[in-house]
Chain A
């Protein structure tokens, strides 16, 4: 009897495990069997009357790391589901922090569970396109190309094909504390119009503004401008500083920082600024988040910052989370070939369709993007989260967002900090360790940049050789 009981117990445990396993596989991997087809949506707000066939009863996942109010996403999803109620579409939203993105997508890739829709920043997504994880949506992007800013459209295209449609963008340059600037006797460098994007020259920065600010903060824990190289947050901003001081980072799809004497001189100048007390002292261990935090707490006068930081700080002031001060945006001054100009870099945030192997889900994901691009209300809600990607939305919303006009003037000066190189995302982890080596004195600026370029070009070459969209 005891043996019989033990036998039954063991069998039960084995069967229980087997049963559990089967259920999970069926629930997560079997696509919907129903494939009834109906006509596709015809225009923006109503479901189509003439178009290719669309599948029915499809559930998709939308993953995003966008810093956007969740209600904007949920409202768009709810409206889409309601308008496509006859088709039985449902979208499950998974919103997570940007720091989790690569881990989640890598895990999903390994387990064949990629979402159909990804809303993210292009500069963190482009490698996925080369790895064949992002679908070509040129046909959808072309429908809005005329209205979209050229720099925005071009930034999300590889070899003329689009892998993302922009939903909003965030220019980045300087954020500065105009009150502290005025206190330091630098009134003439602060424009009267608070919404004007301030333009200085490199000479003014180096010889007037930073020395005056260094004097102003002397004897306190404050510092004039925040530099940071603790992690890969440093890449875009450090590239901005290097560009500001005449550096040239990319050429013909490769990194040239290591062989460009101007870039080497730029890094040497950055280090000399730090040694002269014009920046924070702990550049090696400082992260962008810390510098941003210290700027909004008025520990620094100037900070690198993107537009979304600007709006977040304004919101924090309005909520009483931080003390109110006169915060302004400035462009990055550049001096090239003896001429003064300005630039700003740009993060484009948009929608991509992921090649998750499920044609029905891919079709619905594309349909969602088409629908969104034609839905004025929801597209405006996305775009006004930061800077609109579309000239028409800028025009329509400038009255309530007076800063848009000044930012729109910067559009011709935008530079693509990724250089459009294959494998840019993977090169991000290579720059900051070399900057640390240069700052600590373990390497000269020339050695550090040469090692960076060598490593970056190896990555780029690997992508050029293996890219599924270039080969």
Chain B
């Protein structure tokens, strides 16, 4: 009797399975297969004739080369700074405007969302114009107040900070949008009750907005971690990974290996490393979330 149960259920639900079949197939072809293929390719040397199995040699190269280690460090710095900044500033900005007049909320949302709509390429080029030490705005204002020409992209530290700021400005709009949408869904009675009970704005953030937007925080954490781990365009167009590899990211090196050096095996190993880093960071967040609940 029990043996026939799955078959019976399959017969009952076959229409549903057929409906999802095309999408499962697409996911298998365009997501599962490339990921699996990437894992396998990372164990091969593909630069020379044919694919030669090299085991973990590509990974060994990554962890023994100071340039790759610097890229791992930089990428982790980007994630460790940009993602918390996005979450903190995102909640603060959204919490400050969500209960204001709708027109004002829309205005703030549009202003912050503009960099998101604008092409990353265009944004990077605009930043380059701003920062150019010969003709840029930064130099102009520096000279205007009687200072020396500043070349912020010439130092490792300042260029790293600049990339962080640019990534932040490019992503904050989306974060605020998500938080505002979530906060608008919070019961007005709850907020009014807290106000009647004498809760300050800080209490509102601490006891109502932050706890009730936890699902959005999780969403922002996952999507932005994944996005920042893949930082490429800003590095490619603004700093070329420099100076002296000071802003090089894993994705930038992945591109270099795959498309400049025809070294797909090593590029795939970098991709797998980024995938694992993303997985570990998200898992840590989930564990922290679960412990918080307990």
Q: Measured between alpha carbons, how far is A230 from B258 in the docked complex, in Å? A: 21
Is residue A7 contacting chain B, with contact meaning CB distance below 8 A?
Answer: yes
B134 partner residues in chain A, CB cutoff 8 A: 221, 280-282, 286, 294
B14 partner residues in chain A, CB cutoff 8 A: 3
Beta-carbon contact of A433 and B264 below 8 Å: no
Interface stretch (choices B88-96, B187-195, B220-228, B241-249)? B241-249
Q: Measured between alpha carbons, how far is A436 from B247 in the docked complex, in Å? A: 13
Beta-carbon contact of A433 and B242 below 8 Å: yes
Chain B window 124-141, contacts with chain A (Cβ cutoff 8 Å), 1 for yes, 0 for no: 000000001111000000
Is residue B256 contacting chain A, with contact meaning CB distance below 8 A?
Answer: yes
B26 partner residues in chain A, CB cutoff 8 A: 17
Is residue B19 contacting chain A, with contact meaning CB distance below 8 A?
Answer: yes
Beta-carbon contact of B258 and A106 below 8 Å: yes
Is residue B106 contacting chain A, with contact meaning CB distance below 8 A?
Answer: no
Q: Measured between alpha carbons, how far is A332 from B278 in the docked complex, in Å? A: 51
Beta-carbon contact of A433 and B154 below 8 Å: no
Chain A's closest residue to B245 (CB) is A433
Beta-carbon contact of A440 and B155 below 8 Å: yes
Q: Measured between alpha carbons, how far is A231 from B153 in the docked complex, in Å? A: 13
Beta-carbon contact of B242 and A105 below 8 Å: no
Beta-carbon contact of B245 and A10 below 8 Å: no
- A103-B259, A106-B260, A440-B156 known; A433 and B243 CB under 8 Å? yes
Q: Measured between alpha carbons, how far is A191 from B156 in the docked complex, in Å? A: 44
Q: Measured between alpha carbons, how far is A294 from B48 in the docked complex, in Å? A: 41
Chain B's closest residue to A426 (CB) is B261
Beta-carbon contact of A6 and B48 below 8 Å: no
Is residue A285 contacting chain B, with contact meaning CB distance below 8 A?
Answer: yes
Contact among B19, B149, B153 with A6 in the assembled complex (CB-CB below 8 Å): B19
Contact among B22, B151, B156, B258 with A282 in the assembled complex (CB-CB below 8 Å): B151
B149 partner residues in chain A, CB cutoff 8 A: 281-282
Chain A's closest residue to B159 (CB) is A285
A280 partner residues in chain B, CB cutoff 8 A: 134
Beta-carbon contact of A131 and B156 below 8 Å: no
Beta-carbon contact of B21 and A284 below 8 Å: no
Is residue B196 contacting chain A, with contact meaning CB distance below 8 A?
Answer: no
Beta-carbon contact of A10 and B18 below 8 Å: yes
Beta-carbon contact of B22 and A17 below 8 Å: yes
CB distance from B127 to the nearest CB of A (A): 12
A110 partner residues in chain B, CB cutoff 8 A: 46, 264
Beta-carbon contact of B242 and A282 below 8 Å: no
Chain A's closest residue to B23 (CB) is A13
Is residue A218 contacting chain B, with contact meaning CB distance below 8 A?
Answer: no
Within 8 A of B (CB), among A102-118: 102-103, 105-107, 109-110
Beta-carbon contact of B49 and A132 below 8 Å: yes
Contact among A7, A281, A439 with B15 in the assembled complex (CB-CB below 8 Å): A7
Beta-carbon contact of A468 and B243 below 8 Å: no
CB distance from A133 to the nearest CB of B (A): 8
Within 8 A of B (CB), among A394-433: 426, 429, 432-433
Beta-carbon contact of B48 and A466 below 8 Å: yes
Q: Measured between alpha carbons, how far is A57 from B195 in the docked complex, in Å? A: 83
Beta-carbon contact of B25 and A284 below 8 Å: no
Is residue A78 contacting chain B, with contact meaning CB distance below 8 A?
Answer: no
Beta-carbon contact of A102 and B259 below 8 Å: yes
Beta-carbon contact of B133 and A285 below 8 Å: yes
Beta-carbon contact of A7 and B262 below 8 Å: no
Beta-carbon contact of B47 and A436 below 8 Å: no
Beta-carbon contact of A284 and B153 below 8 Å: yes
Q: Measured between alpha carbons, how far is A455 from B244 in the docked complex, in Å? A: 13
Is residue B240 contacting chain A, with contact meaning CB distance below 8 A?
Answer: yes
Is residue A437 contacting chain B, with contact meaning CB distance below 8 A?
Answer: yes
Contact among B25, B49, B154, B240 with A440 in the assembled complex (CB-CB below 8 Å): B154
B259 partner residues in chain A, CB cutoff 8 A: 102-103, 106-107
Chain B window 248-273, contacts with chain A (Cβ cutoff 8 Å), 1 for yes, 0 for no: 00000000101111101000000000
7 pairs of residues in contact across A and B, judged by CB atoms under 8 Å: A17-B26, A110-B46, A436-B242, A436-B243, A437-B244, A442-B244, A466-B47
Interface residues of A (CB under 8 A from B): 2-3, 6-7, 9-11, 13-14, 17, 102-103, 105-107, 109-110, 127, 131-132, 221, 230-231, 280-282, 284-286, 294, 426, 429, 432-434, 436-437, 439-440, 442-443, 455, 466, 468
Besides A3-B14, A286-B134, 6 other CB < 8 A contacts? A10-B18, A14-B25, A17-B26, A102-B259, A132-B48, A284-B153
Top 7 closest pairs, chain A to chain B, by CB: A103-B259, A10-B18, A437-B244, A436-B243, A282-B133, A284-B154, A13-B22
